[in-house]
Amino acid sequence: MARENAIFRPLRRAGEGREGEKRVKPKRYFDYMLLFMILFLISFGLVMIYSISAYNATKYYDDATLFVRNQAIYAVLGFVLMLIVAKFDYHWYVAKLKIHKKFQPSLLLIGYIICIALQFYVWRWGDGTNGSNRWIPLGKSFKLQPSEITKLLMVLLVAYLAYIAPKKLDHFSGFFRILFYSAPLVFLVAAENFTTALIMVGVVFAVPFITSRKKGYFFFSLALAFVAGIGLIQMEGYRRARIDIWLDIENTPGGYQILQGLYALASGGWFGKGLGNSIQKLGYIPEVHTDMIFTCIIEELGIVGGFFLVAIYGVLLVRLFKVAVHAPDLLGSLIVVGVFVQIAMQAVLNIAVVTNTIPSTGVPLPFISYGGSSLVFLMIEMGFVLNVSNQIDYDAAPQQ
């Protein structure tokens, strides 16, 4: 059995009591609190998408409910997949398939190969804008963003590699093993979607950091990753241009979207103009219902509404932390840590971009921004968290 981490102290799984002990089936409960927070954020997102997108949807498509209807379909699909994922033991997703006595690949390996293929395909033949290919068309109305699948796989991959050899992570050789397997995915994603690759790097560093007892080599590795990130930025002209825009947003044509977003933030005041009363959504901010949605949330609901949304994210992250602490084993803990890092980084990066704290980059606000791939695969990740939560022995675990 893998050694216990100083922070995460896994409980024995059901039926694995000490020799001679009477085995008692643990009490387990569905995590309705976590489910409620997920559904609340999605419902809030649907309300805001309709409020903010209705004008443009009517103007360009003669259908005020187009975007919110599509998002609702994605939400229902994601909800079904989330419950399915939550139903199966999370150990099954990294288990080997007994196809043949000499060929027993794991689901994780199959997923890894599929992600490599999808990322290569979208890099060469995918759809996109501004010199960046990110989507694979699926008919006239739907597109698949492979980086969202890869981001999900990265959580399972890094958690599993840390779980099977935690002691090796006390040394750089163990961490290098994780880097070796994750690097192809990170670089293929970074070629077309630098921000998603950055979030994946966060998982690659955070999960082993939590698992290991010796942390020194991480700081050196972070310095190397920073240098590599600078190199990737310099390789693409549009990425360098975003930094120039950020440094002089008022006098650069490319800063129009962020500047209009700042106007929306400034005009919201403490309590906003009221739901549906945003001015900046009336064609001033392009595609405002996607990555820039937070700006009009502030404009309509004010600073108080924005703080309320950030507080909900905080409560969700605290809940994820508690699930990670009390998970049945180290694998479950690290899966939840990976999801925690992804949601936290994505929310922070989105808010930092729309407030012009960092250069502009495309990253949706979790559960809120319009986008099918992002929402569906984020809900699948939450299915893994619900799966781990549902296997906690509440008789043995400290009160939460």
pLDDT tens by residue, 109-135? 899 999 999 998 888 887 766 556 677
User: Could you read off the pLDDT of 269-306 as tens digits, one per residue?
Assistant: 899 999 989 998 988 888 889 999 999 999 999 999 99
Residue 394 binned pLDDT confidence (cut-offs 50, 70, 90): low
Same domain? 305 vs 187: no
Whole-number pLDDT of residue 129:
60
Cβ 338 vs Cβ 155: under 8 Å: yes
Taking 90 as the threshold, does the pLDDT of residue 346 lie above it?
yes
Mean pLDDT, range 84-104, rounded to an integer: 81
- Please check whether residue 36 lies inside any domain of the structure: no
Average pLDDT of the chain, as a whole number: 84
Domain residues for the domain of 132 are 107-227
Structural domain count, the chain: 2
Mean pLDDT, range 369-397, rounded to an integer: 88
Structure tokens given for 336: 């939840």
Same domain? 83 vs 131: no
Structure tokens given for 174: 């163990």
Same domain? 178 vs 301: no
Please give the model's pTM, rounded to 2 decimal places: 0.87
Whole-number pLDDT of residue 134:
77
Percentage with pLDDT > 90 across the chain: 47
Whole-number pLDDT of residue 40:
96
- Distance from C-alpha of 100 to C-alpha of 110, rounded to nearest angstrom: 15
- Please check whether residue 209 lies inside any domain of the structure: yes
Backbone phi and psi for residue 270, each to the nearest 5 degrees, phi listed first:
-75, -40
Residue 2 binned pLDDT confidence (cut-offs 50, 70, 90): very low
- Please check whether residue 33 lies inside any domain of the structure: no
Whole-number pLDDT of residue 234:
67
The residue out of 227, 253, 271 marking a domain boundary is: 227
Taking 60 as the threshold, does the pLDDT of residue 11 lie above it?
no
